């Protein structure tokens, strides 16, 4: 492998790790020696990459440094296009437009010999069976990004109150349905609510102060907790 490609691959691996990763782990993943990793890290640092760490401790890449673009492989292009098609056909119009713009940018920088892979139609991604919600999902996503509370009204007969305030922490897309995972202020617990069960949703100016990422971790931990003495997952 050419050294330029190896440096690019090392950057990609470092980007995937949000915490310190050992040189030995990097060497194993890239199929090179630990000595090579140390030399390549030093080279990247000389090029301006903000890589913290040292031999025996590990390395972490701080954001903000980009190597010159490299060509995608055919499989990488196929993965990007397939994923983009799914997003554009299963989500809302604003996200679909963002996907179309992103694909146009990718196609613009591809070398001519790779554009055939970009236009390949070997995988078909179907359209959603139905529009399962009339809500503006872009507003729900804004509430997630900005950690804003939502005031919702449910159409379910067993809903305890007409209006409730929730802290949205994650959107879910499962087949043709959309869901929002949230902390409910009324009953003080996590809930997963079908978007088609919500008749209205208002993004409030008030933010919830707890970290959304930490709330997601707590919710997942509860979802994976043992529910009996035999270790079964609830």
The CATH code of the domain that includes 54 is: 1.10.10.10
Inter-CA distances, 194 with 80, 140, 154, 172, 191, Å: 28, 13, 10, 9, 10
Structural domain includes residue 213: yes
* Domain around 180: 137-223
Structural domain includes residue 228: no
Q: Are residues 142 and 219 in the same domain?
A: yes
Q: Are 14 and 62 in contact (CB under 8 A)?
A: no
Structural domain includes residue 142: yes
Structural domain includes residue 128: no
Q: Are residues 108 and 157 in the same domain?
A: no
Inter-CA distances, 137 with 87, 96, 154, 195, Å: 13, 12, 16, 9
Predicted pLDDT of residue 180: 93
Q: Are residues 155 and 89 in the same domain?
A: no
Q: Are 59 and 23 in contact (CB under 8 A)?
A: yes
Predicted pLDDT of residue 231: 43
Q: Give the Cα separation of 124 and 81 in Å (integer).
A: 11
User: Which residue(s) pair with 59 in the sheet?
Assistant: 21, 53
Query: In 3-state terms, what secondary structure has residue 163?
Result: strand
Predicted pLDDT of residue 230: 47
Q: Which two tokens stand for residue 41?
A: 């890290």
Tally Cβ neighbours within 10 Å of residue 213.
10
Q: Are residues 47 and 7 in the same domain?
A: yes
**Which ranges of the chain have pLDDT less than 50?**
230-234
Structural domain includes residue 34: yes
The arrangement of strands across the sheet holding 163-174 comes to 189-194, 177-184, 163-174, 148-154, 198-207
Q: Are residues 219 and 188 in the same domain?
A: yes
Task: Report which of 45, 53, 46 is spatially closest to residue 17, judged by C-alpha positions.
Answer: 53
Predicted pLDDT of residue 233: 40
Structural domain includes residue 234: no
Q: Are residues 83 and 157 in the same domain?
A: no
Q: Are residues 175 and 100 in the same domain?
A: no
Q: Are residues 13 and 51 in the same domain?
A: yes
Predicted pLDDT of residue 128: 67
Query: In 3-state terms, what secondary structure has residue 198?
Result: strand
Predicted pLDDT of residue 8: 81
What's the structural domain count of the chain?
Answer: 3
């Amino acid at each position: 492998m050419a050294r330029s490609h190896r440096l690019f691959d090392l950057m990609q691996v470092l980007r995937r790790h949000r915490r310190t990763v050992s040189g030995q782990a990097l060497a194993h993943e890239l199929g090179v020696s630990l000595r090579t990793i140390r030399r390549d890290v030093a080279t990247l640092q000389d090029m301006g990459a903000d890589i913290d760490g040292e031999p025996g401790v590990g390395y972490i890449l701080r954001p903000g440094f980009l190597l010159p673009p490299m060509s995608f492989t055919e499989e990488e292009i196929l993965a990007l296009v397939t994923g983009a098609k799914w997003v554009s056909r299963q989500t809302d119009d604003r996200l679909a437009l963002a996907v179309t713009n992103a694909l146009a940018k990718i196609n613009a920088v591809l070398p001519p010999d790779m554009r055939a892979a970009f236009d390949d139609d070997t995988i078909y991604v179907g359209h959603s069976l139905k529009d399962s919600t009339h809500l503006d999902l872009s507003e729900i996503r804004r509430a997630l990004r900005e950690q804003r509370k939502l005031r919702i009204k449910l159409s379910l007969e067993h809903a305890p109150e007409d209006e409730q305030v929730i802290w949205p922490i994650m959107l879910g897309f499962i087949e043709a349905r959309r869901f929002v995972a949230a902390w409910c202020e009324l009953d003080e617990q996590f809930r997963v609510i079908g978007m088609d069960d919500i008749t209205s949703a208002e993004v409030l100016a008030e933010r919830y102060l707890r970290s959304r990422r930490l709330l997601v971790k707590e919710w997942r931990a509860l979802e994976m907790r043992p529910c009996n003495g035999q270790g079964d997952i609830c």
